[in-house]
Amino acid sequence: MERIINIANDYTKTPGGRHVNEGKYSGEDFRETVLRPAFNESVQNGITLVINLDGGFGYGSSFLEEAFGGLARTTRDKRILGIKIISDEEPRLVDDIKQYMEDALNGKK
């Protein structure tokens, strides 16, 4: 079973910067209002969390690093590596996000 979140449909088509104080739709806000609750729910219910990046107007590295790397830093839970990231439009971002999570878990940022 899966829980699918499409950022463009379920959060915003126009992701912003890293922190809430930098404007709307930040990586920090996405992490705290959407990603963390969905991750916790997926762990609690034993389901796979799928994040679909398609449909938006581009993602800055600061948004993605704060959302996904930030989740790794704040939870210290290796199960975040089980989050399935998908994108037909920008497949390179999948590897970037996985690297942000691994780096954060390993204390590199």
Q: What is the pLDDT of residues 37-92, one digit of tens each?
A: 999 999 999 999 999 999 999 999 999 999 999 999 999 999 999 999 999 999 99
pLDDT of residue 106: 95
Decide if pLDDT at 108 tops 90: no
How far are the Cα atoms of 11, 34, 42, 50 from residue 82, in angstroms, in the given order?
21, 17, 10, 9
pLDDT of residue 109: 62
- The average pLDDT across 78-107 equals 97
